[in-house]
Amino acid sequence: MEPAPLASLQEEGEGEPGESPSSAAAAVPPRPATHHSLHKYAPLDWSAYFDEERRVAIPDTEDVFNVYMAGSEGPVVFCLHGGGYSGLSFALAASRMKEKARVVSMDLRGHGKSTTSDDSDLSIETLSSDVIAVLRTLYGDSPPAIILVGHSMGGSVAIHVAAKKVIRNLHGLVVIDVVEGTAMASLIHMQKILANRAQHFPSIEKAIEWSVKGGPLRNIDSARVSIPSTLKYDESREWYEGLSEKFLSCPVQKVLLLAGTDRLDRALTIGQMQGKFQMVVVRHTGHAIQEDVPEEFASHILNFIARNKIGPNGVEIPGLIKKWQH
Protein backbone atom coordinates (compact mmCIF):
# COMPACT_ATOMS: atom_id res chain seq x y z
CA MET A 1 0.00 0.00 0.00
CA GLU A 2 1.30 3.43 -0.89
CA PRO A 3 1.68 5.91 1.95
CA ALA A 4 -0.95 8.58 2.30
CA PRO A 5 0.04 12.16 1.55
CA LEU A 6 0.44 14.45 4.51
CA ALA A 7 -2.66 16.40 3.56
CA SER A 8 -4.82 13.40 4.38
CA LEU A 9 -3.65 13.26 7.98
CA GLN A 10 -6.32 14.45 10.32
CA GLU A 11 -5.89 15.89 13.78
CA GLU A 12 -7.49 13.65 16.36
CA GLY A 13 -10.69 15.26 17.43
CA GLU A 14 -11.29 17.10 14.14
CA GLY A 15 -14.30 16.56 11.92
CA GLU A 16 -14.34 14.31 8.87
CA PRO A 17 -12.12 15.34 5.95
CA GLY A 18 -13.54 15.87 2.50
CA GLU A 19 -14.04 19.58 2.01
CA SER A 20 -11.69 21.26 -0.44
CA PRO A 21 -10.34 24.50 1.03
CA SER A 22 -11.13 27.67 -0.84
CA SER A 23 -8.27 29.79 -2.15
CA ALA A 24 -8.87 32.28 0.68
CA ALA A 25 -8.92 29.57 3.32
CA ALA A 26 -5.79 28.02 1.86
CA ALA A 27 -3.91 31.20 2.70
CA VAL A 28 -4.76 30.85 6.39
CA PRO A 29 -1.92 29.30 8.44
CA PRO A 30 -2.52 25.66 9.37
CA ARG A 31 -4.27 25.01 12.63
CA PRO A 32 -1.78 24.09 15.40
CA ALA A 33 -1.70 20.46 16.45
CA THR A 34 -3.76 19.60 19.49
CA HIS A 35 -2.00 18.98 22.79
CA HIS A 36 -3.05 15.34 22.64
CA SER A 37 -1.57 14.89 19.19
CA LEU A 38 1.67 16.66 20.13
CA HIS A 39 2.09 14.39 23.14
CA LYS A 40 1.18 11.17 21.33
CA TYR A 41 3.70 11.75 18.53
CA ALA A 42 6.36 13.62 20.51
CA PRO A 43 9.94 12.43 19.86
CA LEU A 44 11.56 10.06 22.36
CA ASP A 45 15.25 10.26 23.24
CA TRP A 46 17.63 7.41 22.34
CA SER A 47 18.96 7.29 25.92
CA ALA A 48 15.80 5.54 27.10
CA TYR A 49 16.82 2.49 25.04
CA PHE A 50 20.58 2.61 24.43
CA ASP A 51 23.30 3.12 27.06
CA GLU A 52 25.74 5.10 24.93
CA GLU A 53 26.09 7.06 21.71
CA ARG A 54 29.61 6.96 20.27
CA ARG A 55 31.34 8.68 17.35
CA VAL A 56 33.69 6.24 15.59
CA ALA A 57 36.37 8.07 13.60
CA ILE A 58 37.97 5.89 10.92
CA PRO A 59 41.77 6.38 10.93
CA ASP A 60 43.31 8.20 7.96
CA THR A 61 39.91 9.26 6.59
CA GLU A 62 37.35 12.03 7.09
CA ASP A 63 34.68 9.46 7.94
CA VAL A 64 33.01 9.50 11.36
CA PHE A 65 30.24 7.00 12.01
CA ASN A 66 27.63 7.32 14.73
CA VAL A 67 26.81 4.17 16.69
CA TYR A 68 24.41 3.44 19.51
CA MET A 69 25.43 0.86 22.11
CA ALA A 70 23.60 -1.09 24.79
CA GLY A 71 24.55 -3.90 27.15
CA SER A 72 27.87 -5.01 28.60
CA GLU A 73 27.87 -8.82 28.39
CA GLY A 74 27.42 -11.54 25.78
CA PRO A 75 28.12 -11.52 22.04
CA VAL A 76 27.83 -8.35 19.96
CA VAL A 77 24.62 -8.02 17.94
CA PHE A 78 25.75 -5.55 15.27
CA CYS A 79 22.70 -3.97 13.64
CA LEU A 80 22.45 -2.37 10.19
CA HIS A 81 19.32 -0.41 9.31
CA GLY A 82 17.48 -0.15 6.00
CA GLY A 83 17.67 2.67 3.48
CA GLY A 84 16.02 5.81 4.83
CA TYR A 85 16.10 4.53 8.43
CA SER A 86 18.86 5.01 11.04
CA GLY A 87 20.54 3.11 13.84
CA LEU A 88 17.63 4.08 16.05
CA SER A 89 15.48 1.68 14.04
CA PHE A 90 16.66 -0.98 16.52
CA ALA A 91 16.13 1.11 19.69
CA LEU A 92 13.14 -0.70 21.17
CA ALA A 93 14.57 -4.11 20.33
CA ALA A 94 17.96 -3.15 21.81
CA SER A 95 16.39 -2.35 25.15
CA ARG A 96 15.01 -5.90 25.23
CA MET A 97 18.25 -7.61 24.18
CA LYS A 98 20.84 -5.75 26.22
CA GLU A 99 20.51 -7.91 29.32
CA LYS A 100 21.85 -10.92 27.40
CA ALA A 101 23.84 -9.38 24.53
CA ARG A 102 25.78 -6.28 23.58
CA VAL A 103 23.87 -4.35 20.93
CA VAL A 104 25.64 -1.98 18.54
CA SER A 105 23.48 -0.15 16.00
CA MET A 106 25.24 1.90 13.34
CA ASP A 107 24.12 4.92 11.32
CA LEU A 108 25.18 3.96 7.81
CA ARG A 109 26.80 6.43 5.42
CA GLY A 110 24.38 9.17 4.36
CA HIS A 111 22.04 8.39 7.26
CA GLY A 112 21.49 9.58 10.80
CA LYS A 113 24.42 11.41 12.38
CA SER A 114 27.23 9.75 10.44
CA THR A 115 29.40 12.06 8.33
CA THR A 116 31.75 11.02 5.55
CA SER A 117 33.78 12.54 2.72
CA ASP A 118 31.02 11.47 0.30
CA ASP A 119 27.62 10.87 1.86
CA SER A 120 26.08 10.27 -1.57
CA ASP A 121 28.21 7.17 -2.26
CA LEU A 122 25.81 4.40 -1.25
CA SER A 123 27.35 1.68 -3.40
CA ILE A 124 27.24 -1.75 -1.80
CA GLU A 125 31.04 -1.97 -1.85
CA THR A 126 31.41 1.33 0.00
CA LEU A 127 28.72 0.50 2.57
CA SER A 128 30.28 -2.91 3.22
CA SER A 129 33.75 -1.38 3.60
CA ASP A 130 32.33 1.15 6.08
CA VAL A 131 30.95 -1.62 8.30
CA ILE A 132 34.24 -3.51 8.26
CA ALA A 133 36.13 -0.30 9.08
CA VAL A 134 33.84 0.45 12.04
CA LEU A 135 34.22 -3.09 13.39
CA ARG A 136 38.00 -2.90 13.10
CA THR A 137 38.11 0.52 14.77
CA LEU A 138 35.91 -0.63 17.64
CA TYR A 139 37.46 -4.05 18.30
CA GLY A 140 40.86 -4.23 16.60
CA ASP A 141 42.25 -7.67 15.77
CA SER A 142 40.50 -9.48 18.64
CA PRO A 143 36.78 -8.80 18.31
CA PRO A 144 34.21 -10.51 20.53
CA ALA A 145 31.73 -12.93 18.97
CA ILE A 146 29.70 -10.97 16.42
CA ILE A 147 26.24 -11.57 14.95
CA LEU A 148 25.46 -9.32 11.98
CA VAL A 149 21.82 -8.23 11.79
CA GLY A 150 20.57 -6.28 8.77
CA HIS A 151 17.18 -4.93 7.74
CA SER A 152 16.32 -4.43 4.05
CA MET A 153 19.27 -2.51 2.51
CA GLY A 154 21.17 -3.21 5.73
CA GLY A 155 20.46 -6.90 5.20
CA SER A 156 22.17 -6.70 1.84
CA VAL A 157 25.14 -4.94 3.43
CA ALA A 158 25.33 -7.59 6.17
CA ILE A 159 25.35 -10.38 3.57
CA HIS A 160 28.11 -8.72 1.54
CA VAL A 161 30.20 -8.16 4.67
CA ALA A 162 29.79 -11.78 5.79
CA ALA A 163 30.55 -13.08 2.30
CA LYS A 164 33.91 -11.31 2.29
CA LYS A 165 35.02 -13.64 5.13
CA VAL A 166 37.33 -11.02 6.65
CA ILE A 167 35.64 -10.61 10.04
CA ARG A 168 37.22 -12.72 12.73
CA ASN A 169 34.77 -14.22 15.20
CA LEU A 170 31.69 -13.74 13.03
CA HIS A 171 29.24 -16.36 14.25
CA GLY A 172 25.84 -15.44 12.88
CA LEU A 173 23.93 -13.62 10.17
CA VAL A 174 20.34 -12.42 10.57
CA VAL A 175 18.61 -10.86 7.56
CA ILE A 176 15.29 -9.05 7.97
CA ASP A 177 12.70 -9.06 5.21
CA VAL A 178 14.91 -8.78 2.14
CA VAL A 179 15.02 -11.34 -0.66
CA GLU A 180 16.73 -10.71 -3.98
CA GLY A 181 13.81 -11.60 -6.26
CA THR A 182 11.10 -9.58 -4.54
CA ALA A 183 13.47 -6.70 -3.76
CA MET A 184 14.46 -6.32 -7.41
CA ALA A 185 10.85 -6.59 -8.54
CA SER A 186 9.72 -3.93 -6.07
CA LEU A 187 12.28 -1.24 -6.96
CA ILE A 188 10.01 0.53 -9.45
CA HIS A 189 7.11 0.42 -7.01
CA MET A 190 9.36 1.73 -4.22
CA GLN A 191 10.52 4.62 -6.40
CA LYS A 192 6.87 5.53 -7.03
CA ILE A 193 6.17 5.49 -3.29
CA LEU A 194 9.17 7.70 -2.62
CA ALA A 195 8.11 10.14 -5.33
CA ASN A 196 4.62 10.45 -3.81
CA ARG A 197 5.58 10.67 -0.16
CA ALA A 198 5.42 13.92 1.78
CA GLN A 199 8.63 15.92 1.48
CA HIS A 200 8.06 18.59 4.12
CA PHE A 201 6.37 18.55 7.51
CA PRO A 202 5.27 21.47 9.69
CA SER A 203 6.71 19.74 12.78
CA ILE A 204 8.58 16.64 13.92
CA GLU A 205 5.36 15.40 15.46
CA LYS A 206 3.65 15.56 12.06
CA ALA A 207 6.48 13.60 10.46
CA ILE A 208 6.15 10.90 13.13
CA GLU A 209 2.38 10.84 12.72
CA TRP A 210 2.74 10.44 8.95
CA SER A 211 5.22 7.59 9.31
CA VAL A 212 2.66 5.59 11.30
CA LYS A 213 -0.56 6.56 9.54
CA GLY A 214 0.65 6.70 5.96
CA GLY A 215 4.29 5.63 6.03
CA PRO A 216 6.22 2.41 6.62
CA LEU A 217 5.88 1.96 10.40
CA ARG A 218 3.17 0.61 12.70
CA ASN A 219 4.68 1.04 16.16
CA ILE A 220 4.22 4.61 17.45
CA ASP A 221 6.90 4.41 20.15
CA SER A 222 9.50 3.11 17.70
CA ALA A 223 8.60 5.88 15.24
CA ARG A 224 8.99 8.47 18.01
CA VAL A 225 12.58 7.30 18.53
CA SER A 226 13.72 6.56 14.98
CA ILE A 227 11.96 8.98 12.61
CA PRO A 228 13.64 12.26 13.74
CA SER A 229 17.03 10.91 12.64
CA THR A 230 16.04 9.58 9.21
CA LEU A 231 16.96 10.91 5.78
CA LYS A 232 15.46 10.45 2.34
CA TYR A 233 17.20 8.02 0.02
CA ASP A 234 17.23 6.31 -3.36
CA GLU A 235 17.03 2.56 -3.87
CA SER A 236 19.82 0.91 -5.86
CA ARG A 237 19.69 -2.29 -7.88
CA GLU A 238 23.22 -3.28 -6.91
CA TRP A 239 22.19 -3.66 -3.29
CA TYR A 240 20.17 -6.74 -4.24
CA GLU A 241 21.71 -8.31 -7.36
CA GLY A 242 23.02 -11.80 -6.62
CA LEU A 243 21.98 -11.43 -2.99
CA SER A 244 20.34 -14.84 -2.50
CA GLU A 245 23.34 -16.88 -3.67
CA LYS A 246 25.68 -14.66 -1.64
CA PHE A 247 23.52 -15.17 1.45
CA LEU A 248 23.55 -18.95 1.00
CA SER A 249 27.34 -18.92 0.58
CA CYS A 250 28.08 -17.18 3.89
CA PRO A 251 29.87 -19.72 6.13
CA VAL A 252 28.02 -18.91 9.35
CA GLN A 253 24.73 -19.82 10.97
CA LYS A 254 21.95 -17.90 9.23
CA VAL A 255 18.34 -16.93 9.86
CA LEU A 256 16.01 -15.05 7.54
CA LEU A 257 13.15 -13.14 9.17
CA LEU A 258 10.30 -12.45 6.77
CA ALA A 259 6.97 -10.65 6.99
CA GLY A 260 5.44 -13.19 4.56
CA THR A 261 6.34 -16.45 2.78
CA ASP A 262 5.59 -14.88 -0.61
CA ARG A 263 8.93 -13.08 -0.37
CA LEU A 264 11.03 -16.21 -1.01
CA ASP A 265 12.67 -16.50 -4.43
CA ARG A 266 13.70 -19.76 -6.14
CA ALA A 267 17.26 -19.89 -4.81
CA LEU A 268 16.17 -19.34 -1.23
CA THR A 269 13.26 -21.77 -1.53
CA ILE A 270 15.70 -24.50 -2.59
CA GLY A 271 18.23 -23.46 0.06
CA GLN A 272 15.60 -23.53 2.79
CA MET A 273 14.45 -27.01 1.74
CA GLN A 274 18.09 -28.13 1.93
CA GLY A 275 18.42 -26.77 5.44
CA LYS A 276 21.01 -24.12 4.57
CA PHE A 277 19.37 -21.51 6.78
CA GLN A 278 16.54 -21.06 9.23
CA MET A 279 13.48 -19.13 8.10
CA VAL A 280 11.10 -17.41 10.50
CA VAL A 281 7.88 -15.80 9.29
CA VAL A 282 6.74 -12.99 11.58
CA ARG A 283 3.00 -12.50 11.23
CA HIS A 284 0.96 -9.31 11.54
CA THR A 285 3.84 -6.93 10.87
CA GLY A 286 5.08 -4.63 8.15
CA HIS A 287 8.46 -4.47 6.43
CA ALA A 288 10.25 -3.02 9.48
CA ILE A 289 9.84 -6.08 11.70
CA GLN A 290 12.31 -4.85 14.33
CA GLU A 291 10.29 -1.65 14.79
CA ASP A 292 6.76 -3.01 14.52
CA VAL A 293 7.19 -5.94 16.94
CA PRO A 294 10.41 -5.24 18.89
CA GLU A 295 9.71 -7.74 21.67
CA GLU A 296 9.14 -10.62 19.25
CA PHE A 297 12.13 -9.56 17.16
CA ALA A 298 14.40 -9.44 20.24
CA SER A 299 13.16 -12.89 21.24
CA HIS A 300 14.10 -14.32 17.84
CA ILE A 301 17.62 -12.82 18.05
CA LEU A 302 18.22 -14.10 21.58
CA ASN A 303 16.88 -17.56 20.65
CA PHE A 304 19.26 -17.59 17.67
CA ILE A 305 22.19 -16.81 19.98
CA ALA A 306 21.15 -19.47 22.51
CA ARG A 307 20.41 -22.17 19.93
CA ASN A 308 23.82 -21.74 18.33
CA LYS A 309 25.57 -21.45 21.71
CA ILE A 310 27.25 -18.15 20.80
CA GLY A 311 29.05 -16.83 23.87
CA PRO A 312 30.79 -13.48 24.39
CA ASN A 313 33.90 -14.70 22.56
CA GLY A 314 32.40 -17.44 20.42
CA VAL A 315 34.30 -20.34 18.86
CA GLU A 316 36.31 -19.85 15.69
CA ILE A 317 36.01 -22.59 13.06
CA PRO A 318 39.43 -23.15 11.41
CA GLY A 319 39.47 -22.81 7.66
CA LEU A 320 36.26 -20.78 7.37
CA ILE A 321 37.37 -17.36 8.58
CA LYS A 322 40.25 -15.52 6.94
CA LYS A 323 42.68 -13.37 8.86
CA TRP A 324 41.92 -9.69 8.98
CA GLN A 325 43.35 -7.96 5.96
CA HIS A 326 45.40 -4.80 6.49
Q: Of the residues 152, 156, 226, 229, which is catalytic?
A: 152
Q: Of the residues 81, 111, 287, 300, which is catalytic?
A: 287
- Asked about 152 being catalytic, the answer comes back as yes
* Rounded Cα–Cα distance for residues 153 and 124 (Å): 9
Burial of 188 (0-12, 13-18, 19+ CB in 10 A): exposed
Sequence letter at residue 199: Q
- Asked about 177 being catalytic, the answer comes back as yes
- Asked about 160 being catalytic, the answer comes back as no
Q: How far apart are the first and last CA of the chain?
A: 46
Residues 6 or more apart whose Cβ sits within 8 Å of residue 23: none
Q: Compute how many other C-beta atoms are within 10 angstroms of the C-beta atom of residue 269.
A: 15
Residues 6 or more apart whose Cβ sits within 8 Å of residue 186: none
Q: Are 137 and 64 in contact (CB under 8 A)?
A: no
* Rounded Cα–Cα distance for residues 325 and 124 (Å): 19
| Edge-to-edge strand ranges of the sheet holding 253-258 | 52-57, 64-70, 102-106, 76-80, 146-151, 170-176, 253-258, 278-281
Query: 3-state class of 151 per DSSP?
Result: strand
Q: Of the residues 177, 211, 229, 300, which is catalytic?
A: 177
User: Which residues are tagged catalytic?
Assistant: 152, 177, 287
